[in-house]
Structure 1
């Protein structure tokens, strides 16, 4: 097997938490170039990195030109990695080197299939296609047009919507993970890892985590959302939306969406968004309430055996 090398003059080292701003700028520059907008927050990185199960130093690499981070890759666990290259540094083989780095690390960890999401038709999509990655599923970033509202749907008798409290956290985790693991091929996140990305996410406020309780008072639906500011736009992003299987078909998800978007609007948001993928079968639900695809992503993967 031929050895893949970086261009002369570039160096590498593991990422540290102090690299969050520089890493965010690399990802943001790539998204702005490929999508015309920035979909990531620096807090997204920090919440991933603070998961107790995650060893950032052992799972990441930064590519530097002098002291400047110009590219990075990170194995996020199991079958998923992320990578980005500043647009000005594309075409030099850095992305190929990062893919090789990620594959070697994943093989050492016993991973059978490795992949990452890339905007459909982007430079990253073309590179992974050339490297033999195939599409495993498709995802969409959906937005509610500015000024549009989702029609409210009253909750059925016996159900109530409110902000989550600390004593609800374990039920929030259970409902969300149960729902997501119906279609996601991964291990169940621990409560500590889940909390690192939700109620311990940098900037967390109580309105970010709302829930619906059922007639017996237990949590049966959850939404996790926050306002993100980028490129002169304040937008409410819904990161998680889950309803327990036995309580579906009663309008709970729509009620949670309305509440999350309304809370974000009252705090300055003019747009609302969320992401869904072809494994969930939920695209039609979101389109039915007026949301429209703003970008399409493909998750490309490759067998490592």
Structure 2
């Protein structure tokens, strides 16, 4: 499960949409998920990622903050597959044409993924979308399955990490420019700047302020330093960074730079590298030993991240199919 963007229409299935059936192996059952299923969903995601990537960086907060968006209806947007009481697979139409799925590795190859792909397509079609897709590690079982089912590759994405031993070299801001924590009164301006920046290259609708906030200041454990703003001497907003901590397998927190953007007329001044270094330094000051982020070919920012010392740790493929 990775936050991603896809072309889509705005229509959504309503809570009155009937549950669609699944062609599952004998003995398995399915039902819509509830918030109480979040730990089991996280376990399924993590199990797949450990096989595909060697580790998982997903957290319970990632799952819950996505499901707690005001516009989201978990009852019509999810389905869980169960072997008795154990969740063995799930699908989530997170946005009209963006889906997340996972199947426990020891249940792969039984046709569950194919059944979930059909469910996702039916649900997206019922909601008015003309395309639906997902993002998965390159060469993984899910990637191979989606390719075989006719999903075309749209773009490539990467996870990058600042290694624990890498020295954080200070990057000064231009004269008169400062960086500080966002206050509640700054949230709408930060939302506008970040959404404007991401909509330059992504084909999607603008995320509402409420849904945007559910993933940032509404996220469990949010602290003011998680949203940092860059301003000029007049107080005008020039850039914004969202970074949060995630617990590692060994209990040591890591930092994830979820969003970073600079206003178009301020690019080329060295703001973005300074903002990244600020995020890395703050994360380390709060106990993080690793810092990482995700980007893709549409954003064209991989070179920037590598120049501040980050290295690619995994490659992902975004695949989509027309409905």
TM-score (normalised: structure 2) = 0.91
Q: Distance in 1 between matches of 2:205 and 2:315?
A: 26
Aligned-pair CA distance for 1:247:
0.9
**Structure 2 match to 1:238:** 257
Q: Encode CA deviations 1:54-84: one digit per residue, 9 max, x unaligned.
A: 0011100000111111100010112210000
CA RMSD of aligned residues (A): 1.2
**Structure 2 match to 1:49:** 67
Q: Does 1:29 align with 2:47?
A: yes
Q: Encode CA deviations 1:114-140: one digit per residue, 9 max, x unaligned.
A: 100010000000000100011000000
Contact 1:198 1:224 in 2 (8 A): yes
**Structure 2 match to 1:153:** 171
Aligned-pair CA distance for 1:235:
1.4
Q: Distance in 2 between matches of 1:160 and 1:268?
A: 24
Query: Following superposition of structure 1 onto structure 2, how do residues 1-16 of structure 1 map, counting pairs within 5 Å?
Result: 5-16=23-34
SS at match of 1:82: strand
SS at match of 2:40: helix
Contact 2:22 2:119 in 1 (8 A): no
Of 306, 309, 312, the residue aligned with 1:290 is: 309
Of 272, 291, 298, the residue aligned with 1:253 is: 272
Of 236, 261, 264, the residue aligned with 2:283 is: 264
SS at match of 2:196: helix
Aligned-pair CA distance for 1:214:
2.0
Q: Any unmatched runs of 5+ in structure 2?
A: 1-20
Q: Does 1:198 align with 2:183?
A: no
Q: Encode CA deviations 1:175-205: one digit per residue, 9 max, x unaligned.
A: 0000000011110001111000111111111
Of 21, 27, 35, the residue aligned with 1:17 is: 35
Of 91, 109, 129, the residue aligned with 1:73 is: 91
SS at match of 2:109: coil
**Structure 2 match to 1:189:** 207
SS at match of 2:41: helix
SS at match of 2:167: coil
SS at match of 1:268: coil
**Structure 2 match to 1:131:** 149
Of 80, 86, 106, the residue aligned with 1:62 is: 80
Contact 1:242 1:253 in 2 (8 A): yes
Aligned-pair CA distance for 1:50:
0.8
Q: Does 1:167 align with 2:185?
A: yes
Q: Does 1:99 align with 2:108?
A: no
Contact 1:228 1:234 in 2 (8 A): yes
Contact 1:139 1:297 in 2 (8 A): yes
Contact 1:152 1:254 in 2 (8 A): no
SS at match of 2:155: strand
Q: Distance in 2 between matches of 1:79 and 1:158?
A: 43
Q: Distance in 1 between matches of 2:58 and 2:264?
A: 30
Q: Distance in 1 between matches of 2:207 and 2:200?
A: 14
Contact 1:78 1:186 in 2 (8 A): no
